[in-house]
Amino acid sequence: MSIITIRVTREMKEKLEKYNVNVSETVRELLNKYLIELELKDLAERLELLKERLSGKIDPKLVVELVRGDRETR
């Protein structure tokens, strides 16, 4: 595991201590959620580019048939 150091105001530190906040765990959870958002955003952008490149090249009816066929085999 890596170490990351942050600076917060004295007031913020006091409030965190007042509420017994586990800062390390909270920051890890928030960073994990943020990374998930970034990955989803990246995926959405890549899908949009793929959609643009493939527009007009794939028959939507064929896609529907393939998806339905895949669902039926599961």
Mind listing the pLDDT tens digit for each residue in 3-13? 999 999 999 99
Q: Per-residue confidence at 34, pLDDT binned at 50, 70, 90?
A: very high
Give the span between the Cα atoms of 22 and 16, in whole angstroms.
8
- Record the tokens describing residue 25, joined without a space: 């765990």
- Tokens 């409030």 belong to which residue? 15
Residue count (the chain) = 74
Supply the pTM of this predicted model: 0.66
Does residue 16 have a pLDDT over 90?
Answer: yes
Give the span between the Cα atoms of 28 and 2, in whole angstroms.
11
Give the span between the Cα atoms of 64 and 70, in whole angstroms.
10
Q: Per-residue confidence at 74, pLDDT binned at 50, 70, 90?
A: low
